[in-house]
Amino acid sequence: MAEPHTVLILALDTTTRGGSIAVVRETAVLALVAGDAARTHGERLPGEIAVALDRAGVPRTAIDLLAVATGPGAFTGLRIGLAAIQGLAMTLDRPVAGVSALDALVSEAGEPGVEFIAAWMDAQRGDVFAALHQPSVASGFSRTIELEPPIAASPVALLDRWRPRLERHTALFTGDAVTRDRDTILAAGGGRWTTRVPGPLAPAIAALGLARARAGLAGPPHALTPIYVRRPDAEIERDRRTGG
């Protein structure tokens, strides 16, 4: 009897300066490349994709599914990542699954045994991109429920907004902004909140992308929709100059 086919996924995250690329077969990570934050995504992305495929020992044509973080994140890096995946999808004629980087952060955190999980990404200008989830077990499957949708705000303002829901409960904050905001988070949590610096997100993006594909939510490359949460800085600056 022939072996059942297993899905080979190429997953990409460019929502942070470093980002990451993973080649995953179902749940097995064959290769993981953490990006060099000292160089732009545009400079290094084609080479890093080639390195990931080489380490996994698979050709591009073997890829079954492409998964990509659709945001939020820095506008330029996000657009470069989406364009790279769209180009591969068109060349290979493969479906693409878009995944929220905030959802990937919550998924990557695992099941820490806390009552709430907050994704906490650096949005520059001192702000964060954030979302609040609650772990749940439904029908025997572990998952999370989104309680507060993605938002861009200052850390202090957001913690004040969430405090009525989170006070007297345990919460884990995870993302690339937790190092910067750690003291603020811990002081606001009164000893019940903790922080965690996440690992590369590409494996979590692959897992969520596979789940979306099996739910019929993967599609053609032109259907990818970026998650900006707020307008690009260039637009904000243009409106400031013109009074728009």
End-of-domain residue from the set 160, 181, 196: 196
Are both 16 and 44 inside the same structural domain? Answer: yes
Instruction: Dump pLDDT digits (tens) for 58-77.
Output: 999 999 999 999 999 988 99
Are both 207 and 236 inside the same structural domain? Answer: yes
Are both 83 and 15 inside the same structural domain? Answer: yes
Are both 159 and 228 inside the same structural domain? Answer: no
Instruction: Give domain status of residue 1, yes or no.
Output: no
Residue 142 has a pLDDT of 55
Instruction: Give domain status of residue 53, yes or no.
Output: yes
How far is 73 from 153, CA to CA, in rounded Å? 13
How far is 75 from 142, CA to CA, in rounded Å? 32
103: helix, strand or coil: helix
Are both 137 and 174 inside the same structural domain? Answer: yes
Instruction: Give domain status of residue 168, yes or no.
Output: yes
Instruction: Using the structure block, give the residue that is written with the tokens 């938002």.
Output: 151
The boundaries of the domain holding residue 152 are: 110-196
Are both 216 and 96 inside the same structural domain? Answer: yes
Confidence of residue 146 (pLDDT cuts 50, 70, 90): very high
Instruction: Using the structure block, give the residue that is written with the tokens 């004040």.
Output: 160
CATH number where 15 lies: 3.30.420.40
How many domains, in total, are found in the chain? 2
Q: pTM value?
A: 0.91
Task: Name, in order, each residue with C-beta under 8 angstroms of 130's C-beta and a sequence gap of 6 or more.
Answer: 102, 118, 119, 120, 121, 148, 150, 151, 152, 153, 158, 175
Task: Name, in order, each residue with C-beta under 8 angstroms of 175's C-beta and a sequence gap of 6 or more.
Answer: 105, 119, 120, 121, 122, 128, 130, 198
Are both 62 and 89 inside the same structural domain? Answer: yes
Q: 103: phi > 0 → left, psi -120 to 50 → alpha, else beta; which? A: alpha
Q: What is the mean pLDDT of residues 177-187?
A: 97
Residue 48 has a pLDDT of 96
What is the helix (H) or strand (E) element at residue 53, kind and residue range?
helix 41-56
Residue 215, pLDDT above cutoff 70: yes
Residue 97, pLDDT above cutoff 50: yes
Mean pLDDT of the chain: 91
Instruction: Give domain status of residue 44, yes or no.
Output: yes
Confidence of residue 179 (pLDDT cuts 50, 70, 90): very high
Are both 63 and 176 inside the same structural domain? Answer: no
Instruction: Give domain status of residue 2, yes or no.
Output: no
Are both 187 and 124 inside the same structural domain? Answer: yes
Are both 208 and 95 inside the same structural domain? Answer: yes
Instruction: Give domain status of residue 22, yes or no.
Output: yes
Task: Name, in order, each residue with C-beta under 8 angstroms of 98's C-beta and a sequence gap of 6 or more.
Answer: 67, 68, 69, 70, 209, 212, 224, 225
Are both 48 and 91 inside the same structural domain? Answer: yes
Are both 179 and 121 inside the same structural domain? Answer: yes
Instruction: Give domain status of residue 19, yes or no.
Output: yes
> Which of 219, 178, 227 lies closest to 79 in space, CA to CA?
227
> Which of 121, 85, 52, 30 lies closest to 209 in space, CA to CA?
85
Instruction: Give domain status of residue 174, yes or no.
Output: yes
